[in-house]
Structure 1
């Protein structure tokens, strides 16, 4: 396809770069609105940071605006489930250690059901959990996201809209004819470009002058077999910020497989690669897994403490930490990145579709971006 004046650039209304959960959600939202949209990625959908089997959906976040987005995202996930005909978030709920009244104030204001249970009732809410020192917070509306199934649904809904092509750069030629996208299979000109390409987002956004301080590091997610005595009991998603067992962690069941993922949270737990793409001298992912397994032995006696597998993924965080995300905008281009985006993808996709249609950043993404650049965020 070429224009009548011989220009080999292919015209397009909206280009979405990145076929992870956020890019696919944005493409789906634009498709439903009747937009001429293509989504570009050099890998199959969901192969990057959206890979893996499970994520935690939870309502509790460090900022009330994010709680509000989580409430909206949970409702949109229900709409996705009705549309796809299969459950995308389980009914496991989430349990937290190390939380107090101040940590749930936003949940109360936003009408999110939650309650505390006493320490002696820990097995009633988490069958694999050992004794704890303080009350546990329960979020019954939370659950484990069926990540691969969610990607499959979005891939089905965006069929014909995803182009498997590497995007080399995004530029504004300044001629008033749109944003140029250089790919390995063609050159495109789009009225608007949405960049949600995970770790590649800062590099691609820099081509139009956007500066996004994203820090990326390797993160290990070992998974463990649930012991027979805990099978059949409640196995919720887990967040332990108490530090009582030497680490702060998160955890999630892998559907109904009888396996459970556990990972570390907090500053400095992930391992940044060197400029040459290697692990720093003396650092290995084994140390990460050993720390997680030591925690499992102490705190989660309902799990076998020897991992049955491990997934190494890339964690991407903004200055405010692992509970932050944001949006950035310049004329014709919107970019979004951060951490823990899977749970918010249904509502963020709609917001990014708004940005593409109206060429302005929705206030929710603008405020989140401002908070994300702060340096006082708390873990998870």
Structure 2
């Protein structure tokens, strides 16, 4: 079976690997660096913790596949430092963890089980012991090596269903495939529209900023997700590298609009996140040491969405890296047998066509 995967982010690379292992003749189209846009950076958060039991269960399946990948790679792809969720609504997350049978613990600020860059915070906290840091650098190397020469460093201009198959056009060249998978991040909406598939197209700018960690704090630091409360920024936080702490925030939507431009959005994000660090993280220096920019869809949260039209299957969502190996398997199976994986998470309505 001849298959094209459009998009060389972590989901596209994972799908390509899964298809290759099923014996497909597959090509992955990516004009930029593999995992260079929404998958950029050296570390990300892994967590079982979600507010939906189905998402917890799917994260557990993905975690098991990460273990297998780590064995193949000869190095751990997830550092098991744990992940903490804090805020007034974490009871919902705890209920979802319990329903899915996932280990977790609820604690208050000051608990000896916490290793965070702050001593106090709003609301109770949920500890997800299976959480930790995805080593994106190792993951990228593993996937790129597994794909080999199946990665085509070209931009896809159009996708079109024809009698013999699906034509993928890139510049003056075109190839016909038995099936196409679109998982191109910000580029998914435009490409999918060309074959009659509607996906959310809204975009906003996002900046994750890293700061030096002060000596003398707890170690190893747990990943941390904070819910917004009483004017305090909602954040996600994790080690970005040795001695560096990454913080991304839920910035006022009016400050990071697509129309407002990247420069203004990055400046607003930098100021908001730096102010948060200065006020709330005593073990982190409020001195920006670097940043990772990416695009973000404000209409999507945790969740997996799939849409098919004929021989073309599209997938979209946010916060997908923790599901990468599972999504690769799901997309490969659906591509080969012509099915549609079930949507999961907020807004899930089952398979779409």
TM-score by length of 2: 0.93
Label 1:119 to 1:131 Cα distance change in 2 as closer, same or farther (>3 A).
Answer: same
Aligned length: 351
Partner in structure 1 of residue 208 of structure 2: 221
Instruction: In structure 1, list runs of 5 or more residues that go unmatched.
Output: 1-11, 374-380
Query: Structure 2: how far apart are the matches of 1:35 and 1:367?
Result: 32
In the TM superposition, what are the counterparts of 1:36-185 in structure 2 within 5 Å? 36-98=25-87, 99-121=89-111, 124-173=113-162, 175=163, 177-184=164-171
Partner in structure 1 of residue 332 of structure 2: 353
CA positional deviation for 1:43: 1.6
112-121 or 138-147, larger mean C-alpha shift: 112-121
Label 1:284 to 1:107 Cα distance change in 2 as closer, same or farther (>3 A).
Answer: closer
User: Considering only aligned residues, what root-mean-square deviation do their CA atoms show, in Å?
Assistant: 2.3
CA positional deviation for 1:325: 3.2
Query: Structure 2: how far apart are the matches of 1:188 and 1:159?
Result: 19
Partner SS, residue 79 of structure 2: coil
Instruction: In structure 2, list runs of 5 or more residues that go unmatched.
Output: none
Query: Structure 2: how far apart are the matches of 1:41 and 1:336?
Result: 16
Partner in structure 2 of residue 343 of structure 1: 322
Partner SS, residue 295 of structure 1: helix
Query: Structure 1: how far apart are the matches of 2:345 and 2:214?
Result: 45
CA positional deviation for 1:370: 3.0
Query: Structure 2: how far apart are the matches of 1:136 and 1:127?
Result: 11
Query: Structure 2: how far apart are the matches of 1:192 and 1:107?
Result: 37
**Larger C-alpha radius of gyration, 1 or 2?**
1
Residue 327 (str. 1) matches residue 282 (str. 2):
no
CA positional deviation for 1:214: 2.8
CA positional deviation for 1:298: 1.9
Label 1:369 to 1:194 Cα distance change in 2 as closer, same or farther (>3 A).
Answer: farther
Which one of the candidate residues 260, 279, 297 is aligned to 2:245?
A: 260
On the 8 A contact 2:307/2:351 being kept in 1, the answer is no
Query: Structure 2: how far apart are the matches of 1:355 and 1:228?
Result: 49
Label 1:116 to 1:205 Cα distance change in 2 as closer, same or farther (>3 A).
Answer: same
CA positional deviation for 1:93: 0.7
239-248 or 207-216, larger mean C-alpha shift: 239-248
TM-score by length of 1: 0.86
